[in-house]
């Protein structure tokens, strides 16, 4: 990243003449960052390796990158380690290779990374026409070996796997794949299927799925979950945000507790938001504004997301009719 906070909380650009001994913090997560000068004199900030309190995380990252590089070369792929990309070397791929005139970058992410930084990296790869594959380290799962909330921003989509997260374990030389991630309302818990793959299996499967077109709408699903009972419980709380939705419904002669059947939810919902109830809010906002909600409109509302690694389609009629709430 190219900006950080000084000790006086002033935002400063890395290209300014700065001291490498001064203390800087990430403007997003407020954790320590250090000023780094690349081999060509390009200045940027990065999170300190000692973020977790010791160097174990950094060691695991180095070990993992080397194993990933070795595995790719065993496949007969002429991979390279730590490759600078771009005219100003603004991007550095952990493992890089080219296949059939397509460039690929494999990122092994162990250190905490903000959504802003992830979005910047993803956009940088897109601008460079490099397809990226993300593998997460142990920082991004809990003691029970399940994804933590911070991992959700790395959710990807594949035609065969649905929404998925992938973890690289250098100790076992395997990829732990959490696929078909979804919500089953009214729980905000992520549900999934678990698979263990070798790195060749994982990389080949990702490459095959990335050549397919992005998901433009969700195949129609039976509407098996009626949220009206859940909404009634929410309205019992005086501070509930759903009371404002109740007021908006009243203004149009509707009752939040008596929603039309078109607003019922499928049994399975995509994890494209932090809480499944956000998807219900999108549906209600759309219905109150346009007094209609087809399945295609509904599925497009589900697919709208801030997660940068999810595939995006060309702007369509739904996006042109965007709303705010």
Q: Give all domains of the chain, ordered by start, each with its CATH number.
A: 3-47 (no CATH), 56-210 (3.40.1350), 228-320 (no CATH)
Encode pLDDT of 149-179 as tens digits. Answer: 889 999 999 989 999 999 999 888 899 999 9
pTM for this prediction: 0.77
State the pLDDT confidence band at 22, using cuts at 50, 70 and 90: confident
Report residue 101 CA to chain centroid gap.
Answer: 27
Q: Rounded CA gap, 110 and 222, in Å?
A: 39
Confidence (pLDDT) at 75: 80
Question: pLDDT, tens digit, for every residue of 204-250?
Answer: 999 888 777 777 888 888 988 999 999 999 999 988 999 999 999 99
Q: Where are the beta strands (DSSP E) in the chain?
A: 3-5, 11-13, 24-25, 32-37, 43-47, 80-85, 91-99, 102-109, 130-136, 156-158, 162-169, 174-182, 191-197
Confidence of residue 38 (pLDDT cuts 50, 70, 90): low
Show the tokens assigned to 41.
């004199």
Please tell me the predicted confidence (pLDDT) of residue 9: 80
**Per-residue pLDDT for 188 more than 90?**
no
Let me know how long the chain is. Answer: 325
**Helix 277-290 crosses helix 242-250 at what angle (to 10 degrees)?**
20
1/39: higher pLDDT: 1
């Amino acid at each position: 990243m190219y900006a950080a906070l000084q000790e006086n909380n002033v935002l400063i650009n890395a290209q300014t003449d700065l001291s490498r001994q001064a203390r800087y913090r990430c403007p997003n997560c407020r954790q320590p960052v250090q000023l780094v000068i690349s081999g060509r004199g390009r200045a940027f900030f990065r999170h300190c390796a000692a973020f977790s309190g010791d160097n174990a995380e950094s060691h695991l990252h180095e070990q993992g990158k080397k194993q990933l590089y070795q595995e790719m070369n065993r496949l007969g792929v002429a991979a390279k380690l730590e490759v600078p990309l771009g005219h100003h070397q603004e991007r550095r791929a952990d493992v890089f290779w080219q296949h059939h005139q397509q460039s690929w970058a494999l990122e092994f992410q162990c250190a905490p990374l903000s959504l802003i930084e992830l979005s910047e990296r993803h956009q940088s790869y897109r601008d460079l026409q490099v397809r990226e594959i993300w593998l997460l380290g142990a920082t991004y799962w809990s003691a029970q070996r399940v994804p933590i909330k911070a991992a959700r921003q790395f959710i990807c989509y594949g035609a065969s796997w649905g929404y998925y997260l992938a973890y690289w374990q250098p100790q076992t030389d395997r990829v732990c794949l959490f696929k078909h991630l979804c919500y089953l309302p009214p729980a905000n818990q992520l549900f999934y299927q678990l698979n263990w793959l070798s790195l060749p299996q994982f990389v080949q499967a990702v490459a095959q799925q990335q050549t397919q077109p992005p998901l433009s709408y969700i195949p129609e699903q039976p509407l098996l979950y009626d949220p009206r009972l859940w909404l009634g419980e929410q309205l019992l709380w005086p501070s509930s945000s759903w009371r404002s939705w109740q007021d908006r419904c009243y203004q149009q002669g509707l009752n939040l507790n008596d929603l039309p059947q078109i607003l019922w939810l499928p049994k399975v919902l995509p994890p494209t938001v932090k809480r499944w109830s956000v998807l219900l809010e999108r549906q209600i906002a759309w219905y109150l504004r346009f007094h209609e909600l087809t399945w295609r409109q509904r599925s497009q509302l589900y697919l709208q997301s801030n997660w940068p690694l999810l595939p995006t389609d060309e702007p369509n009629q739904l996006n042109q009719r965007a709303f705010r709430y």
